[in-house]
Structures are given as C-alpha cells and as structure tokens.
Amino acid sequence: MHEITEWLTNVVDMAPAWAVYLVVVGVLYSETAVLICGLIMPSEAVLIAAGVAAAVGQPNIYILILCAVAAALCGDLTGYALGRHSGPRIMDSWAGRKFGEQQWERAQQRVRYNSYVTVPIGRWIGYVRTLLPIAAGMSRVPVSRYALATFLGGSTWASTVLLLAYLLGAAAGVRLMGMMVICLVSAAVLMVLIRWLFHRVKVRREAEAGRESASV
C-alpha cells in the first residue's frame, strides 16, 4: 500500500494540468455521448483523482469544475440528440441490449414525466446517467427542459465529487487514491469471475435443455 501511495504521489506531482483537464473532459463527455463508454468509463474515480491532483499538484480546482460541468452537459446533449434521431437503433445495438428492455422503458417513462427529479438524481447512478440522455431524446422531452435538468444534475454532481476529493488534502487524498486503485482492481477481477460463472451456468443449462429436448 505504501509503495502504491508513493507511486501515485509521484504521478500526480508530474502530471501537467492540461492533461488532467483533458482526461476529465474526455471521460465525462464520452460516458453519456457514447453508449458503450458508459459501460466502462469510471467517471467518479476520474473525478476523485482529478480533485486530489488539484490539491497536491498543478491543476486548478475551479478550472476543473468548469471543465467537468461543461463536459457533462455537452455529453448529455449529444446523447439526447442521438436518442432523438437513432434511439431504436441504439437500443438494438450490442451495448443497448446490455441494459435490458425494461431499463430502457423505465428510463423513458421517468424522464418523460419527472425530468427535474429523475435527471439530477440519475446523474449519481452510473448506468442511469448513461441511459437517460438517450431515453430523453427518444421520449421527445423538450430540449430546454432536459438541458436545464441535466445542467442542475451535472453541475451539482461534478462539483460535489471534485470538491470533496480536493478537501481531503494531499496526504489523505493520495492514500485514498491508493485504496481506490486497489478497490477498482479487485472489482474488475470480481466482475470477470462473476461473468465467467454466469457463462458456465448458462452453458450448462443450455446443455441440459438440449438433452431433455433430444430425449423427448
């Protein structure tokens, strides 16, 4: 753990400010503008790392907040436009099917009738904030209403996460980054294991079903 913390400290100290801004903008924009990125982009982890970098390194926390809010808003509006013009095609894509038809229907219903609550709250839940822009576009939610709702959600979410990470301070923040790296690696290994187990169970059930059909 100490070695990880020391390595992260050196990385943060050497990271130029523009690189941190660029990573934050790229991740936050892609997460909601490109559906498949929403399945893999660790936006909270990136914001925490950026907030710590601002506390102990070169980036400015206020510029970070502006970049994060702008990227979140632009990403959501891009997702909205894609949902408005190509929503059904996106739902039928490989990434769209990963969310499930019920999730799409629930997201469309909630964003259509309660945008000012659903969108800001959904910003705090990973897969929900990826679905909502496209669902809003498909549901023909007025763009002015959706833009205001997503600005409120994106600005409060990004500002809160960045400021909390920033206020942790240099020493506590870097230790937190070390713990976060360990947790992310552990979670990734666990997800791979769970998917492998599900695949094994599915193959076994299909084999059993095939044997039952053959016997009949």
pLDDT digits (tens, 9 = 90+) for 112-158: 888 898 899 988 887 788 888 999 999 889 999 999 999 999 999 99
Give mean pLDDT, residues 13-31: 84
**Contacts for 88 with CB less than 8 Å, ≥ 6 apart:** 138
Give me the pLDDT at residue 36, please: 72
- 2 alpha carbon, distance to own chain's centre: 29
Report d(CA 51, CA 82) in Å as an integer: 31
Residues 43, 28: contact at Cβ < 8 Å? yes
Q: pTM of the predicted model, to two decimals?
A: 0.72
Place 201 in a pLDDT band, splitting at 50, 70 and 90.
Answer: confident
From residue 126, alpha-carbon distances to 135, 157, 188 in Å are 15, 12, 15
